Structure 1
Amino acid sequence: MRDVFHADLDALNSQLVAMSTSVTQAMRAASAALLSRDAVQARGVIDGDADINAMQYAVDDEVIDIMTRHQPIAGDLRFILGAVRIGTDLERMGDMAVHVAKIAERDAPGCAVPRTRPIFTAMSEIAIRIADKTTGILVSRDVLDATQFDLDDDEMDAQFDRLMRVLGEGWSHGAEAAVDVAMLGRSFERYADHAVRVAHQIVYLVTGEVHLGRES
């Protein structure tokens, strides 16, 4: 029975890894669509969000099934409950990628504003790096790697602050573009925030300790 239980836990973790991989691909494609002004690629991200949502539902269903058939305790119970939270944050990361893709699809800011393109290039690189690392810690459960996510988040916050300064210093490209630029920045910033939450869950499920990170 324990072999069956651990096989179920492995299957649940594999679902989370697959979901994280899809989320990474979504942000990579959304960022590329934004920077290359590729509406077709952006539409692919938007249409693919249903698959990520379905993955979250599958995680929830698997958790219910495991809880019904087994009586998990201690670390196993932490992982099962943490899987629900991780699935939720991964789904939100997918939503942030969709927000980027929707703006890229209609090309309202055009990513042609020279003052913001370098910032979005940097934010895209940070987001993709964080996403890859998220998948990595789901596989390895490396606590040290998980605790380093706050540093990546600091980089993203610094780029967001830089973007807000650009918007506040003589912006001359119109209100609509300003709103879209701000929304793009917030989507990247929130993407990183949810990845940090996943990392904190990894620390908790391995150690039983709540990792609060640093104040931003």
Structure 2
Amino acid sequence: MAILNNFTKAAKGFFIEEDERAPVAAPTPRPLPPQPVADAPAPAGPAPLVAQAEQRHLDHIAGLLAGDGKDFGAYTKMVTSMASSGLTGPLLYQTAFNAFAALTGVNQAALLASAEQLATKLAEDRARVLQRHREKMGESPTAKATPGPLALLQQRETQLQAEVAALTEQLAQKNQQLLEIQQQGQAEKQKTQAALASYELANAAAAADLQAHRQAAQNFLNPSPSTTSSNA
């Protein structure tokens, strides 16, 4: 039947692939619904929309899931291969397991334990990446970790803000000192001008008085001949 022919081709292709140890491209992961994570960092703003994961991340995940051909990752590849023949549901997974067990000798318990190990590996890797992300964001600095560019920029920003605040305070103090000096200078200027005005009055009065006495002395102490004859 057609479905058996397709199944035979799918299984044969998987067996040949495993025997030749040819590299197998990781299947494109299906998008999963977002799930709440307790230790995920709260975003500071709207997260950038990512329609598709970068190839470097896909390669990294594929490297984590790569095994010896006898683990759950290899089994999922067989499931994907046989699904192209039209098998679905329990029949797909049971048939793939029978073929996988016949090929590798792995039993069901070992297969599911391998799946648990892969899940743990993914979770641990994600925790490591999240920790590094926090360090890059400057949210969880540690003594051992090298601060990322963003953390360094945030540190520099904090330092500059502190310096600006200090300079602002100094500027406010200097402005207050300048105002006080200006007020003192204005008062001293007025005082000096008043003193000069008083001196000018005193000097003018003294000069006028001196001039009057001088004129009188000239008139009375050095009388003219006509004035002397009259007095005789």
Structures share fold, TM-score greater than 0.5? no
- When Rg is computed on C-alpha atoms for both structures, the one with the higher figure is 2
TM-score (norm 2): 0.21
TM-score (norm 1): 0.23
Q: Which has the higher helix share?
A: 1
